[in-house]
């Protein structure tokens, strides 16, 4: 994984649920990850999918990703190039989905209080820092287990690697 | 050192002497459920590079999210799943004619005390009604369970909800659950195990425990749990699909939070658009015009729920400006409801009956609202766009509140048309296929 990423902030509020991140009506009809990306944030911010750039960062309040267990809500952001999600807190299943698709998730309240929509920021995963014009904010580095999964690119590549190692 | 239910069961399954909250453990679950998402899971499984399932007997598949299929894409999805299940020898397979996954699993004795059960469905917290460690996981994780048997968990902190008192007329376990969510909010139990205990919790029926634990995820919880007792052991008699050994929290264990709920103080409530924690007393929202009433979903469409609906509708008709969509939780519930005359009453009163399954809950089919329409529903989610139209509104309430609202065409206080719960319980005792064991 890239140790430092730079991108623009897409800022949203509290309790952003998976139905607005990826509408339920597409969960069985849209199977192509690239197409999932086109519906990302459709019911929350129709401008998002058309304008988000590689390594942009989603910044949200508490309980990001609450609701359904649908993995598409993490996949659709990953395929659009989102480099990380920073939230005050994450819903439990979204946290799992994020880790499992290899999306870095950062729990940090200060960033939410200081950065605004459109701000340019830098995230240093090695040092555990979020940097921008409005300040530098620390977050604890990922624990070894999560880092292993994120670094491998997600749970599936991680499992593949583990099985290959065990078979050796 | 005294331990919580979650600490004890996760230590047992991970082969450790003890575990602490925050620790990551790997376990092999007893059951890993998936539903219509099994086709997508099977494609992920194929990418891992293993030919055979680690253990096909762990896996349980129910087709329920769009049954019968609404279009070609859903039909192909089901076909792919049938082929996968056959190829890999998954015996616990329930096709489109059974009902909603969580209900079908309960009816077939797969939900067992002291077991670890995962579901690729967020409402898998429901299994805690039976004393299982039940939790929703992701599609990829079920694919990894297929390949390796294993799944990682973070050992959760525990919240205890101490329930006392007795329900007043027109107040149900749905009002309790929404009341808790309104109080602690949608993230009030984030990552936590929630134990529903106290003198009143032991009196809840199987059905009521399922409604309660089903809504635990809307508090942010990892699992909901009611300590299993005679109510559950009786239900499992002759039904349990495997042997089981209950696990309980130790007396004096550490709870990170304790919330007291007195049933006697509760009143009927409604979760208003567009979040489950936007909870208001029904008296505050009464009078709001609604175009659709939906009685269905894994939360509230069991026999007791249909009984309350039928008792309200008996000798009445729904309002001419309102539609009533009714979807029983399972085929067994539907047959019992037919035998007890509930279906005839509901359809005669203007209700529209559909096949057991999830229906319009997440907007797939069978009652998607039009733009500008309002629906009051017995479901568990009311997020914007949830029922398939982002320009519609969804209110959540008990079956009784929904039933009375269907009659008046407006959100209504259930106490306007009282039902005789003693009579309903006496009828429910005659149910043979989907018994709802009554303890009060």
User: CATH number for the domain including A23?
Assistant: 3.20.19.10
Q: Is A101 on the interface with B (CB under 8 A)?
A: yes
Candidates A63, A68, A96; nearest CB to B186: A63
pLDDT at B439: 46
β-strands A105-107, A120-124: how paired?
A: unpaired
Q: Which residues of A touch B121 (CB under 8 A)?
A: 69
In a shared domain, residues B421 and B277: yes
In a shared domain, residues B248 and B304: no
When computed from its CA atoms, the radius of gyration of chain B, rounded to whole angstroms, is 21
Total domains in chain A come to 1
Q: Is the dihedral of CA B360, B364, B370, B374 positive or negative?
A: positive
Is B438 a member of any domain? Answer: no
What average pLDDT does this structure show over B144-173?
A: 97
β-strands B292-295, B323-326: how paired?
A: parallel
Quick count: other Cβ atoms within 10 Å of Cβ A144? Answer: 8
Which residue of chain B comes nearest to A24, CA vs CA? B362
* Structural domain ending residue among the three candidates B262, B297, B329: B262
Q: At what angle do helices A72-79 and A92-101 cross, to 10 degrees?
A: 40
* Structural domain ending residue among the three candidates B262, B290, B306: B262
Q: E-assigned strands of B235-360?
A: 257-262, 269-271, 279-281, 292-295, 323-326, 351-353
A28 vs A78, higher pLDDT: A78
Segments forming the whole domain that contains residue B423:
271-428
Burial B348-363 (b: 16+ CB within 10 A, else e): ebbbbbbbbbbbbbbb
Q: Is A130 on the interface with B (CB under 8 A)?
A: no
Q: What is the pLDDT of residues A73-118, one digit of tens each?
A: 999 999 999 999 999 999 988 999 999 999 999 999 999 999 999 9
Q: Is A167 on the interface with B (CB under 8 A)?
A: no
pLDDT at B437: 57
Nearest in space to B169 (alpha carbons), one of B422, B388, B439, B438: B422
In a shared domain, residues B190 and B307: no
Is B63 a member of any domain? Answer: yes
Segments forming the whole domain that contains residue A87:
4-167
> Do the Cβ atoms of B138 and A69 come within 8 Å?
yes
In a shared domain, residues B232 and B327: no
CB pairs under 8 A between A and B: 122
> Do the Cβ atoms of A93 and B136 come within 8 Å?
yes
pLDDT band for position A166 (50/70/90)?
confident
* Structural domain ending residue among the three candidates B212, B239, B262: B262
Question: How far is A11 from A122, CA to CA, in rounded Å?
Answer: 15
In a shared domain, residues B178 and B46: yes
Please, which residues bridge with residue B295 across strands?
B326
Which residue of chain A comes nearest to B44, CA vs CA? A156
Peptide bond into B298 cis (omega under 30): no
Is B146 a member of any domain? Answer: yes
Q: Give the mutation candidate from B63, B69, B385 for the A interface (greatest A CB count, under 10 A).
A: B385
Backbone angles phi, psi at B322, to 5 degrees: -125, 145
Q: What is the pLDDT of residues B256-310, one digit of tens each?
A: 999 999 999 999 999 999 999 999 999 999 999 999 999 999 999 999 999 999 9
For B371-405, the three-class secondary structure string (H helix, E strand, C coil) is CCCEEEECCCCCCCCCCCCCCCEEEECCHHHHHHH
In a shared domain, residues B401 and B298: yes
**For a pLDDT cut of 70, what percent of chain B falls above it?**
99
Q: Which residues of B touch A92 (CB under 8 A)?
A: 190-191, 220-222
Is B90 a member of any domain? Answer: yes
Candidates B121, B191, B383; nearest CB to A17: B383
Q: Which residues of A touch B101 (CB under 8 A)?
A: none
> Do the Cβ atoms of B275 and A159 come within 8 Å?
no
CATH, residue B149:
3.30.499.10
Is B436 a member of any domain? Answer: no
Question: How far is A77 from A87, CA to CA, in rounded Å?
Answer: 15
Total domains in chain B come to 2
Question: How far is B288 from B370, CA to CA, in rounded Å?
Answer: 17
Query: Is pLDDT of B438 > 60?
Result: no
Query: Average model confidence (pLDDT) for chain A?
Result: 93
In a shared domain, residues B155 and B193: yes
> Do the Cβ atoms of B136 and A23 come within 8 Å?
no
> Do the Cβ atoms of A43 and B191 come within 8 Å?
no
Q: Which residues of A touch B52 (CB under 8 A)?
A: none
Is B101 a member of any domain? Answer: yes
Question: How far is A133 from chain B, CA to nearest CA, in Å?
Answer: 31
Is B376 a member of any domain? Answer: yes
Is B435 a member of any domain? Answer: no
In a shared domain, residues B256 and B314: no
In a shared domain, residues B257 and B349: no
What average pLDDT does this structure show over B98-111?
A: 97
Token output for A126: 């090695």
In a shared domain, residues B256 and B306: no
């Amino acid at each position: 994984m890239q140790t430092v990423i730079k991108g623009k902030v897409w800022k949203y509020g509290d309790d952003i649920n998976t139905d607005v991140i990826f509408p339920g009506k597409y969960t069985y009809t849209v199977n192509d990850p690239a197409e999932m990306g086109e519906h990302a944030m459709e019911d929350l911010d129709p401008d998002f999918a058309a304008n988000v750039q590689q390594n942009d960062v989603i910044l949200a309040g508490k309980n990001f990703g609450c609701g359904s267990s649908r993995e598409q809500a993490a996949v659709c952001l990953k395929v659009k190039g989102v480099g990380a999600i920073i939230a005050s807190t994450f819903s439990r299943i979204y946290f799992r989905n994020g880790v499992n698709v290899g999306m870095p998730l950062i729990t940090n309240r200060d960033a939410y209080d200081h950065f605004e929509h459109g701000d340019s920021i830098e995230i240093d995963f090695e040092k555990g820092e979020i940097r921008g014009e409005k300040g530098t904010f620390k977050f604890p580095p990922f624990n070894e287990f999560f880092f292993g999964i994120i670094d491998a690119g997600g749970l599936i590549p991680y499992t593949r690697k583990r099985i290959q190692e065990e078979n050796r | 050192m005294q331990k919580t239910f979650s600490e004890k069961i996760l230590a047992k399954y991970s082969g450790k002497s003890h575990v602490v909250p925050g620790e990551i453990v790997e376990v092999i679950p007893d059951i890993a459920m998936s539903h219509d998402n099994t086709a997508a899971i099977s494609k992920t499984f194929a990418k891992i590079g293993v030919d055979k399932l680690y253990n096909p007997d762990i896996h349980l598949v129910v087709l329920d999210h769009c049954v019968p299929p609404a279009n070609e894409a859903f039909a192909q999805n089901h076909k792919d799943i049938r082929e996968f299940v056959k190829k890999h020898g998954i015996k616990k397979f329930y096709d489109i004619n059974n009902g909603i996954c969580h209900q079908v699993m309960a009816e077939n004795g797969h939900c067992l005390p002291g077991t670890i059960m995962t579901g690729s469905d967020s409402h898998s917290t429901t299994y805690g009604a039976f004393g299982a460690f039940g939790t929703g996981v992701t599609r990829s994780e079920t694919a990894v369970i297929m390949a390796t048997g294993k799944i990682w968990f973070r050992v959760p902190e525990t919240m205890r909800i101490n329930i006392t008192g007795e329900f007043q007329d027109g107040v149900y376990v749905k009002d309790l659950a929404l009341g808790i969510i309104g109080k602690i909010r949608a993230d009030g139990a984030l990552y936590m195990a929630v134990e529903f205990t106290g003198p009143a919790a032991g009196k809840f029926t199987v059905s009521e425990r399922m409604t309660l634990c089903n809504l635990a995820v809307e508090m942010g919880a990892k699992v909901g749990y009611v300590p299993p007792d005679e109510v559950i052991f009786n239900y499992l008699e002759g039904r349990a699909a495997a042997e089981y050994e209950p696990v309980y929290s130790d007396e004096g264990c550490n709870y990170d939070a304790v919330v007291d709920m007195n049933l006697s103080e509760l009143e009927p409530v409604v979760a208003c658009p567009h979040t489950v924690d936007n909870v208001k007393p029904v008296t505050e929202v009464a009078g709001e015009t609604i175009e659709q009433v939906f009685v269905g979903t894994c939360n509230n469409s069991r026999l007791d729920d249909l009984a309350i609906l039928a008792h309200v509708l008996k000798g009445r008709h729904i309002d001419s400006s309102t539609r009533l969509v009714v979807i029983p939780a399972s085929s067994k519930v539907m047959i019992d409801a037919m035998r007890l005359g509930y279906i005839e009453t509901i359809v005669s009163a203007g209700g529209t009956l559909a096949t057991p399954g999830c229906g319009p809950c997440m907007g797939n089919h069978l009652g998607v609202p039009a733009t500008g329409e309002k629906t009051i529903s017995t479901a568990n989610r009311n997020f914007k766009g949830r029922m398939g139209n982002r320009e519609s509104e969804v209110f959540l309430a008990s079956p009784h509140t929904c039933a009375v609202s269907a009659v008046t065409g407006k959100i209504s206080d259930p106490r306007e048309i009282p039902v005789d719960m003693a009579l309903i319980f006496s009828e429910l005792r005659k149910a043979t296929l989907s018994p709802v064991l009554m303890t009060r």
